[in-house]
Amino acid sequence: MIIADPVCYSLNSISMGDVIAAAPVIKYAMNTFHTNTDYKVLVRPYYWDIFKSFVPEDKLGDQSQPFTCHPPWQIRYLNTPRSINARTTSMHMHLSTFASIQLLNRIIPETELAYLPMPKVDVEHFNIDFSKAVLIVVTYRDDVRRIPFSTVAGIAEWVMSKGLIPVYIGCVDSSDIWKDSPFKLAFDALPFGGISLLNKTSILELASIMSLSRAVVGLDSGPIHVAGTTSVPIVCGFTNVAPEHRFPMRPKGIFIPVTPSLPCSHCQSRWCLNYYDFGFCYFKHTECVKQMTADKFITALDHIFQFGV
């Protein structure tokens, strides 16, 4: 019998990718250490849907509210405070490994880290034939982690030329992530044609839509990790973070990374500058973003449509 402390797991991240990668770690902990020992999972309410299918309601708490615990209870944080003593970051290792180390202090087997499928919900009210849809993630928080407008236009045009529907997804104002972002994108005008579902989907709806669609295209971001909970083909660009640290863990589903070719590519993963804020390009040229050109995504999409999954 495994003997364990009662633990409060605090998923103190506002990044959806971090939380999705942590979900299987929580499930592993519940099944391994908490069959006879109590636990609590603290997470922001807008991510509760990710956990409701396997964490009982009374064990799920609001991470944004103050929480104290006393021994034998202990609290484990996904993100430890940024300091010189806690420089383990998800940039230098896979998100899932990071979650495993931070929450469980151990590296659990890769087979246990597969992203958990989300409950399917009805998406008929969108009146879209998703079997013809290619979802394009168009909202990003950081200047160094986004797709240029021209790239979105190029991809959309190509998708339409194939008789398919570009569907724009993302979220620009529903969470505090975007509040202060200088790169808040407004796609209201939709200059490229297609359908906008910006700010119109819940997380579960987004996952259900993705699972019905032909492919998901975008830069490494929360929605790409939502796609990772399904088996939909994913074409994902990586600028400042290395793809080997961010690909969604899943048993099936094609994943094609699109990468820049620069000496400074994936700087945040390869360099060791603890005091620099990689939300901004170190050299101020954001050349990696500029190299996220439509042709690279189109080549990958074409491969998927020709050769299947």
- Binding positions for other proteins, rule: CB under 8 A: 1-5, 7, 33, 71-72, 74, 76, 80, 84-89, 92-93, 97, 101-102, 104-107, 267, 270-275, 282
Minimal distance in Å, beta carbon 26 to other proteins? 13
Tokens matching residue 194 = 């297609």
Residue 126 or residue 282: which is nearer to other proteins going by CB?
282
> Hey, CA dihedral for 303, 213, 228, 309, is it positive or negative?
negative
> Are 254 and 303 contacting, i.e. CB atoms less than 8 angstroms apart?
no
Tokens matching residue 141 = 């928080």
Residue 24 or residue 223: which is nearer to other proteins going by CB?
24
Residue 90 or residue 201: which is nearer to other proteins going by CB?
90
Minimal distance in Å, beta carbon 187 to other proteins? 35
Residue 87 or residue 120: which is nearer to other proteins going by CB?
87
Residue 79 or residue 229: which is nearer to other proteins going by CB?
79
Minimal distance in Å, beta carbon 87 to other proteins? 5
Minimal distance in Å, beta carbon 61 to other proteins? 20
Cα separation of 20 and 170, whole Å? Answer: 16
Closest CA to 203 of 87, 94, 121, 307: 121
Cα separation of 102 and 210, whole Å? Answer: 29
Tokens matching residue 150 = 């021209």
> Are 235 and 215 contacting, i.e. CB atoms less than 8 angstroms apart?
yes
Is there a cis peptide before residue 71, judged by omega within 30 degrees of 0? no
Residue 275 or residue 307: which is nearer to other proteins going by CB?
275
Residue 5 or residue 157: which is nearer to other proteins going by CB?
5
Cβ-based neighbour number of residue 23 at 10 Å: 25
Cβ-based neighbour number of residue 272 at 10 Å: 8
Minimal distance in Å, beta carbon 271 to other proteins? 5
Q: How far is CA 124 from CA 120, 130, 131, 209, 214, in A?
A: 12, 10, 12, 10, 17
Tokens matching residue 56 = 């009982």
Minimal distance in Å, beta carbon 225 to other proteins? 20
Minimal distance in Å, beta carbon 231 to other proteins? 27
